[in-house]
């Protein structure tokens, strides 16, 4: 996209963001990010002389003023987790941290492209950078699963602490293309498999700590699946991205 930096396009973009603040809006994007040059062009130094775009969360927080209502927005492809020290600074200054991208009422979704099943192992499918409320996790078979017993489950693998199964195991043997997988939100319940036009949506949200969400298989079966996660952040700046 060719941008005219004098068109106030950046101001118009910011005006549509549901930030609900009279403070300053700052942006964090990595120098290798796909939107880095566009962000630099769109969000130039404001009339008060404040730089708008930063390459680390620490630099952006240093530019914030306590209790002014400042907000930091991270680029969609900025995947560096907010550290405990940065979270403390944000809380002390009253800075809100949000993720750029499409959301409805603060609800985000992340899609993992189709990939072959893990081979008798647990594989990290999503990375979680802070505490989030898991609203739903949905899988879909894209290549038929081999006809062989394969007990499968989803596991929360935290950076600190012990793994927690997000569901009990389900054998996915011979699951056809289009088969849907989901969980109920009750940890003791098995993963749900539906091959029809309707499935089970998660009844209870789950609090997931920073770490990864893994798909665990008990056998080596051919086949492939794709996955979607729907979530809301609990900690400032918490997000999920594909592992």
pLDDT tens digits for 144-195? 999 999 999 999 999 999 999 999 999 999 999 999 999 999 999 999 999 8
Q: What is the pLDDT of residue 1?
A: 40
Q: Helices (H) and strands (E) in the chain — how many of each?
A: 4, 16
Rounded Cα gap, residues 24 and 65, in angstroms: 9
196-221: average pLDDT:
93
Domains parsed from the chain with CATH numbers: 9-99 (3.40.50), 108-242 (2.60.120)
Can you read off the two tokens belonging to residue 99? 């993720």
CA nearest 112: which of 102, 123, 100? 123
pLDDT band at 3 (very low <50, low <70, confident <90, very high): very low
pLDDT in tens, 217-230: 999 999 999 999 99
CB 204 within 8 A of CB 186: yes
Task: State pLDDT tens for residues 28-78.
Answer: 998 888 888 888 888 888 888 899 999 999 999 999 999 888 989 888 888
State the Cα angle at 76 between 71 and 79, rounded to 5°: 90
pLDDT at site 104: 65
What is the pTM for the complete model shown? 0.74
Decide if pLDDT at 5 tops 80.
Answer: no
103 pLDDT more than 70: no
Answer with the residue of higher pLDDT: 78 or 7: 78
């Amino acid at each position: 996209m060719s941008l005219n930096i004098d068109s106030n396009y950046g101001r118009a973009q910011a005006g549509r963001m549901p930030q609900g603040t009279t403070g300053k809006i700052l942006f964090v994007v990595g120098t290798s990010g796909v939107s880095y040059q566009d962000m630099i062009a769109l969000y130039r130094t404001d009339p008060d002389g404040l730089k708008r775009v930063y390459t680390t969360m620490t630099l952006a927080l240093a530019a914030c003023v306590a209790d002014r209502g400042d907000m930091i927005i991270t680029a969609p492809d900025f995947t560096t987790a907010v550290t405990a020290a940065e979270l403390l600074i944000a809380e002390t200054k009253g800075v809100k941290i949000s993720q750029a991208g499409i959301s409805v009422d603060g609800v985000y979704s992340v899609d993992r492209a189709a990939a072959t099943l893990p081979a008798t192992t647990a594989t990290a499918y999503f990375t979680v950078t802070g505490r989030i409320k898991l609203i739903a996790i949905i899988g879909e078979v894209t290549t038929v699963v081999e006809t062989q017993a394969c007990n499968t489950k989803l596991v929360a693998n935290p950076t600190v602490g012990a793994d927690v199964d997000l569901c009990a195991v389900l054998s996915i043997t011979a699951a056809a293309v289009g088969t849907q997988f989901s969980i109920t939100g009750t940890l003791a319940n098995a993963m749900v498999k539906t091959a029809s036009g309707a499935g089970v949506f998660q009844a209870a949200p789950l609090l997931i700590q920073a770490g990864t969400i893994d798909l665990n298989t008990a056998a080596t079966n051919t086949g492939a699946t794709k996955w979607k996660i729907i979530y809301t952040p609990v900690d400032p700046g918490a997000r999920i991205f594909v592992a």
